Amino acid sequence: MKFFLTLLLLASVSAEEDKNLALDGDMIAFVNNARTTWRAGHNSRFANATMADVKKLLGTIMPGEPNYQEPEEQKKTFNLKATDIPESFDLREAQPQCAGIVGHIRDQSNCGSCWAFGSTEAYNDRHCIANGDTKTLFSPEDTAACCSGFKCMFSMGCNGGQPAGAWKWFTKSGVSTGGDYPDVDTGKSCKPYSLHQCAHHSDPDYANDIPPCDSLPMYDTPKCTNTCSDAGYGTDYSKDKHFAKSSYSVKGVEDMQRELMEKGTLSVALQVYADFEAYTGGVYQHTTGKYLGGHAVKMIGWGVDNGTPYWTCVNSWNTGWGEAGTFRILRGSNECGIEGSVVAGEA
């Protein structure tokens, strides 16, 4: 009972929070006049959005929040020393054969399934690196729909979850293949993402069937099935599953860097504030705006921009947001909790 009461409290918003989100000229001007390390801009996605709307698109439980569960302890088996860590690193360059997988930008649509994307994509990248499979895309929908309850740290599909729960699920239940929304009914994968792609915080692209997100409903979690949703796919669901060998947490900046270099992508979570929605480029650090909720993404590298250290992350808000779907965030000071909830596993 306590668990469900907590969920009701998290889902509720005050009248103040339900106002139109203040990503107006004043907030954008404030960020840009602050001469910080990033740029804010107008994002049409929030023309009529409320803070309640935005919260529904997040959905990751952060450390210290109710119902957060610590992932398994990290298993340190690094070959690299701290002195081996370069100033900059990008998995797309370090593993060029997997650049198409690592750099692939996906779209969670109007569903709080970021936790499923940030985990499934990271495992997908590590699978490519470990096995040389440069073609297969894993299914965030299989994760969001079927990774639930106790076996998945009580993750709840479009209503939020934990990447650590998903990584644990990958080791026990595996994840099927699954492309993006344009791949539905093409026969290319078992469970392509069935929720319509849309323009997140960016201009719509009707020519490519990318309408504004606020023209679509807030989706319910897709139903978990033990069959492939694409009838034209030639492999049975049970035989299409891919299993991770392990799941564990990663602690500390240097261990995060060594993990990225030796094994691949990390699943990370961050605290999202209103100004993050206005991000258009640069090294993000929270400047103004209310806390909206936790968000999960994947981390693929790091670097330094005019003396400012950063992490490179891939979001699941399509290519029209941020730096072509990616963003950079301040490194080394646990900015917005980015270094405090890191999980991965062996592929």
Q: Give the residue numbers annotated as catalytic, written as ranges.
A: 114, 295, 315
Sequence-separated (6 or more) residues with CB below 8 Å from residue 5: none
Could you give the CA distance from residue 102 to residue 301 in angstroms, rounded to a whole number?
A: 11
| Secondary structure element (H or E) that encloses residue 114, with its range | helix 114-131
Encode 276-319 in three state secondary structure. HHHEEEEEECCCCCCEEEEEEEEEEEEEEECCEEEEEEECCECC
Number of neighbouring beta carbons within 10 Å of residue 82:
11
Amino acid type, 317 = W
DSSP string over 135-179: S--B-HHHHHHH--BGGGTTB-TTB-B-HHHHHHHHHHT-B-B--
Short-list 84, 86, 192, 58, CA closest to 136:
192
Which tokens go with 198?
């849309």
Q: Do 245 and 142 touch, CB atoms closer than 8 A?
A: no
Residue 320 three-state SS? coil
**Residue 251: what are its φ and ψ, rounded to 5°?**
-115, 130
Half-sphere exposure of 315 (CA within 13 A, CB side): 26
Which tokens go with 288?
């103004």
